[in-house]
Structure formats: structure tokens, C-alpha cells
A and B are shown apart, each in its own frame.
Chain A
Amino acid sequence: MSINRLIFQGFGLWRWVGGLGGALLGWCLLFGGWQVWRIVEHNVLRPEDLLSPDFFVLNKTVPMLNLFGAAGVSFTASEIEALKRLPFVQSVAPFEYNRFKAHADFGSELALAAIETDLFFEAVPNEYLDGKAEGWHWQPGDTDLPVIISRDYLALYNFGFAQSRNLPRMSEALLRQLRFSVRISGKGKELELRGRIAGFSQRINTILAPAAFIQWANNEYGEGPGTPARLLVKADAAAGPSLVKYLESKNYQFNAEQLRKARIGAALRLAFTAASGFGLAVLGLAFWVFALSLQLIIAQNQDSLRKLVWLGCHPAVLVRRYLAMMGVAIFVIAATGVLFVCWGNHWLVLWLAGQGYPAESVSLWPPVIGMALLGGLLLGFNYLVVRKQIYRLA
């Protein structure tokens, strides 16, 4: 014990406790932040979603004075090509739309509310459709016309219109049974078809008809195919932030849940990176205080250290004694850090479950291994510094 009394004279307990507290704070911020990010990414952002192809609808911003008509908001072939060439874009499909008059009449079928309205249709290639659409095909001569409507329309009716008018709500199953008359006309001709709702789309906010129908009807009743004003883009959402950046630079509008998620993910990543960076800075400062106070103690006790070496004490023994103190500090910090991360992990998963997210725990090994590595690195660094200082004395 005498040796420790000699070589730890002037040991500033409060300086040490302050350093320990700071290091603990930085440590928990760094590794806690990392683990929280891993849990959030796994359970909320779902990396498998982020990595799966992502569909979103793209259109140009309508200018305040749209003097150019459709041309101002349409995509040119070169613009579409430029989009297709982006590394994170897998494919681009223009929306086709009706260039003939369309009219729907629900009167004969829907006794609850007689609705008659002009209609529009759009079409996209089948591989871009989400959800099931029964009998999704059309060929010239067919009198049945399947359509897919946006699930948002049903929600608007059920929770907006029907609620305010005390009308009964309608289920998707009921609407699938509904038949209505669709009248298309143009070039002095008219055709009546029997419409039915074949499915609902979460992804595409429009009334979709089979592409074959729109192409045929545009030729027969309309003015042929038009220039596309909306595009359906299939992109690698892992590149969400860079994609968003590109789209914003082009002043394109897009409405995509996945892209928002990617943006939220990017913002969250930034927040966690900032928290972890702050943790790293605090940790760095705290360990700097540690290393400095250790060097200060050695400098204060250099006379005793020199005498001990002259008595035959191996300098490595003295290095080990100082390092043991640092080792204990790092162990206390790392052990507390492990407990904190375990507890935080447990708490966060329970909280997410309470919020209705899938609450799967993620492995604790990466932060634990990270702590072991960082602890070892800090100990190794301090060993080199202390060793150099003591060996220089003796």
C-alpha cells in the first residue's frame, strides 16, 4: 500500500469523479444513441422496406399562371430519360389518361345516394399496381370495365362526407359489389359500359382503368395518346435522400409515403449521428481530462517514482499501478454503459410495442463489442502515454 500512497499523492478525487461522470455521459450517449438508432431503424423504419423497391408518383409543380396549358406540367421525353438514367431509379412509367369524355351514373345501382359525375381515368402498367384487383383486364368488345380507386377516396367518403351527412358507411367488400354505368363519348360516337370497382390502391391516388381500355378508347373516341403529366417511378428507396434531393432540385412534386419515410430516416439518422457525435466529443473530452489528470499525478510524483526505480522497482510495475486505476474507471464506465444500453433497449422495445410498432429487440452485441473495443483502445492509448512518461523518468 505504501507504493500507492507514494505514487498517487495529490490525486484529485473530484477531478477524477468529474472525468468519470463526463465519460459516463459521453459513453451512454454514444452507445445508447447507436442502439436506439438500431432499434428505430429495425422496428419503425424497417430497413427491408427501405431496401425494397419504392414506388412514388411524380408530377411537376403547377405554376401560378399556367399559360402553357398541359405543356407546362407535362414531362418531355428527355426529362423522362434523365430520370431513368439516375442510378437509384429502376424504371419510370408515365400515367396514361383519357382524352375522351367519360361520365358515370350510379343512379340505377346506388339507391342510397344518386350520384352522377364526369369521370377521368388513368392507367399504369400492371406491375405497378398494389393490392389485388379481380378481373383486371379489358379488351375491345368487353362491356364490363374494371376500375381501381384510391383507398383515400373511400376514406374521404366514409369519414368525411358520410359522417357529416349521417349517411351509412361503405365497406370495400360492398363497393366491389357495386355496378355503375360508364358512358364514354367523342368524335361523335358514344359507348356505354358497366363499371365495377375491382380493387383499391394505397399507392396511386387516382381512378385507374386497364391500360388497354384507355389506349383503345383514346384512339376511338379521343385525340390519341397525350403527353404524360404524372409519372410512376420505381426507385431504390435506400437512396431516398439523394433521390429527394434530385427531385427537389428539379422542382418536381411527389407524394410517397416511402420517400417520406426515407426522409424521416435520413433526418433521424442525422439526429442520432449528431447525438452520437456529441457523445463522442463529451467522451473524448472526459478521457482527455482522465489522461491529463493521470499525467499530472505522474508529474507530481516523479520524485517518488524515480526513487522507487532506484530501489529496484521495475518501471512496468509502476505503469501497471496507474493503468489499473484507469482500467477500473473504464470498466466502471463500460459496465454501467452495458447496463444502460440493456435497460434502454428493453424500455424502448416495450414503448414501441405500446405505440403499436412491431417491437423486435435487436442484438446487443454490436454496442457491447463496440464498448469493449473502445475501452481497450482507450486503455491501450493511456498505457502508451503513461509508459512513455514513466520510462522517461527512470
Chain B
Amino acid sequence: MGKNPVRIHLENVEPQPLRGEVANSEVWHRDITISAGQCLLFKAASGKGKTTLLSIIFGLRRDYQGKVTFEDADIRSFGRAEWSRVRQTQLAYVFQDFQLFDELTAWENVTLKNQLTGYRTVGDLKSMFQALGLENKIGEPVARLSRGQKQRVAVIRALCQPFAFLLLDEPFSHLDRETMGQTAALIRSECQKQGAGILLASLEADTPLAGVDIKKL
């Protein structure tokens, strides 16, 4: 990381689909600055905009009012090249519905991302598969994996890049307690190595990731 930690700043943001429904939120219509290294959990019931918030920060949605800045620049001004750079080097995302390629194997899904970034060695990848108990699923097409296994493959894929923030959308929802712990440990360790922050969206305040600040949407 550079001298100044990478920051995300939300300024009076309100997604259009939630217009008029965001009273008492600690995020919407507020000024929030999140620095790399910080861990925030955005807690809300279904339909309150958890995924929307992460999608706005990741540049997938533009239907919001207010201003979001990343590295002190309004993300609305980012072009395709800038988003490509940011998504390869600054923001990693574990999508709620994983967004894996079902026709590829677990290994191919992960190496595809790694081809773009060139960040991990084959050894790194194998040890991550091992750490999450997926070493036997490496050659398995993703379509044949369980939701929990897919979730872990999505986490490994997200870790195949340098990042200042890791965006996690319900990353433990399909995991048992043991794999949840393994996954949280891997995430925490990688974030610490990179000095990265975590933006976690969850229905519950209860999370295996220790030391997170909770913000109610």
C-alpha cells in the first residue's frame, strides 16, 4: 500500500430502488469513509440494499444518488479501463450468487482470474484449495459442486489478486461451522497480508470474522 491508505468515501448515497425507505440507516444518506485495513459489516434484513451497496462500490450499479469516491476520485468518472484496473488490483468481490463459470472446473475458475492478475503461484492456489478442504474438488466442474463448495471456490478466486478491499456478500451463508471457520481464517490472513479492508454484507451481526464494525443499513 502507498503512504495514504486507499479510501472509499460514501457521501449522501441513496440507491434509487430504496428511495424513501432508508430512514435510520447508518450508511444511506450519511458521509462514511472506509480506509483499507478497516473491516465493516453491513447488516440488514433482506431487501434493504446490502448487495446494492457492494454493487455500487464495485461499479456494477449507477442507479444511485449522492457520490462515491474511490482513491479520492468519483467512481462515476471511471471508464472501462479504470474499472478493469480497479477490479484487478484494488477491489475483490465474492458475489452472493458466486458468479462462477459452471462449465469450467473449480481449478479453471480460479486460474482464469489468476491469468488476468498473475498474482498467485500454482502452489499458492493449491494450498488455498487445501485450506478450504477442496483439494479433491479441483478438477470437478463447478456445476456439480454444492453451494457451500461453490462459495469457497468463489472466495479462493477473489483472493487471486491484490486488493485494498475485499467485498463479501453473504460469504458464509452456505457453510457449516467448521468450513466457515476455515474460510474466515483464510480471508482474515490474506487481508492482513495485504493490509486490506473488508466490506461484509450479512443478514446477521454474527460473523466468524473477528473485529468488524457493524453498520446497520
Contact = CB atoms under 8 A, between A and B. Distances in A.
Interface of A: 2-3, 5-6, 9, 304, 307, 309-316, 391, 394
Contacts of B101: 6, 304, 307
B87 interface: yes
A315 B103 contact: no
17 contacts: A2-B111, A2-B112, A6-B101, A6-B103, A304-B101, A310-B60, A310-B87, A311-B112, A311-B113, A311-B157, A312-B85, A312-B88, A312-B113, A312-B116, A312-B117, A314-B81, A314-B84
A185 B160 CA distance: 117
Interface string B73-96: 000000011001111100001010
Interface of B: 58, 60, 80-81, 84-88, 93, 95, 99, 101, 103-104, 108, 111-113, 115-117, 157, 161
Nearest to B89: A312
Contacts of A312: 84-88, 113, 116-117, 161
B84 A313 contact: yes
Contacts of A304: 101
A99 B84 CA distance: 98
B116 A311 contact: yes
A373 B101 CA distance: 40
A311 B85 CA distance: 10
Contacts of A311: 87, 112-113, 116, 157
A316 B81 CA distance: 9
Nearest to B91: A312
Contacts of B117: 312
Contacts of B80: 314-316, 391, 394
A281 to B, nearest CB: 38
A310 B108 contact: no
Contacts of A6: 101, 103-104, 112
Choose among B112, B157, B161 the residue with the greatest number of A CB atoms under 10 Å from its CB.
B112
Contacts of A309: 84
Q: A-B pairs with the 10 shortest C-beta distances?
A: A312-B87, A312-B88, A314-B84, A2-B112, A307-B99, A2-B108, A311-B113, A312-B116, A312-B84, A315-B80
Nearest to B59: A310
Contact of B99 (A3, A310, A316, A391): A310
Contacts of B87: 310-312
Contacts of A310: 58, 60, 87, 93, 95, 99
B212 to A, nearest CB: 25
B103 A9 contact: yes
B71 to A, nearest CB: 16
Choose among A311, A314, A315 the residue with the greatest number of B CB atoms under 10 Å from its CB.
A311
A316 to B, nearest CB: 7
A6 B88 CA distance: 19
Contacts of B95: 310
A290 to B, nearest CB: 25
A309 B79 CA distance: 13
Contacts of B81: 314, 316
B93 A2 contact: no
